[in-house]
Amino acid sequence: MSVSRLRSFGPEIWLADGGQAQVAGFRYPTRMAVMRLTGGGLLVWSPVALGDELAAELAALGGVRLLVAPNSLHDLHLTQWRAAFPTARLYAAPGLATKRPDLRIDVELGDAPPSDWPADLDYVLMRGNAITTEAVFFHRPSRTVLFTDLLQQFPPGWFTGWRALVARLDLMTQPQPAVPRKFRVAFTDRRAGRAALARVLDWPSDKVVMAHGTPVERDGRAFIASAFRWLGGSRAS
């Protein structure tokens, strides 16, 4: 499976779109981010399929040092990346170790960053959701927030037939990226969700990237506050 070339999204951050993933009969586009760390090496967030072209471009940027699985749903290509970069450390959100006992995970992300966590990034665990605990990241040099599945947007016509109806009802085809209805319902502990959101809104963000949706390139903090207003307690100034 081939992937597109890396494209710059700001200082020391690149994006790459991959192939499509099939989930319960629905086609999802995939996207990953690559960040070059101040201390050396690359961090790869939500890896897509690794083709020869992508591997060559990564080699030109530097060595892959960290792999990040931001929630328990994004594990499709991790075995391939572990084999290709055996010295890279894999950091995973809670829940993936239970789902993938076959996968060697070096560190499970907790509420406090690991001692060796790079200074270029901050993260918050969005707890309280019954579907998955997603780690939301903030890349300081580019002022970019990275969501995985909590924000999604599919273009008009992406789905057809009954899938188009389901996607519309699930808020997956809104004019702007939105939190799908299934994830809203799954926030069984909204207090925990609001506490995590408050920390996300403390970041001085300009941009927002998501695995399935059009990146937001300005006023990122205000966009996030608006997208999560239904959760309550959001703010932006």
Average pLDDT, the chain: 90
Q: Is the pLDDT of residue 174 over 90?
A: no
The residues with which 154 forms a beta bridge, in sequence order, are none
Q: Is the pLDDT of residue 184 over 70?
A: yes
Confidence band (pLDDT; 50, 70, 90) for 3? very low
Q: Could you tell me the pTM of the whole model? A: 0.91
The residues with which 144 forms a beta bridge, in sequence order, are 139, 207
> How do strand 144-152 and strand 207-212 relate by DSSP bridges?
parallel
CA distance linking residue 199 with residue 187, whole number of Å: 17
- pLDDT mean over 3-7: 72
Tell me if 210 sits within 8 A of 152, measured CB to CB. yes
Strand order in the sheet with 121-126: 121-126, 134-139, 144-152, 207-212
Q: Is the pLDDT of residue 17 over 50?
A: yes
pLDDT for the residue 156: 77
pLDDT for the residue 1: 42
Confidence band (pLDDT; 50, 70, 90) for 170? confident
Closest Cα to residue 73, out of 16, 10, 140, 130? 130
pLDDT for the residue 237: 42
pLDDT for the residue 173: 81
* Region of poorest pLDDT, from 18-22, 78-82, 110-114: 18-22
Q: How do residues 123-136 score in pLDDT, each as one tens digit?
A: 999 999 999 999 99
- pLDDT mean over 52-58: 93
Tell me if 178 sits within 8 A of 158, measured CB to CB. no
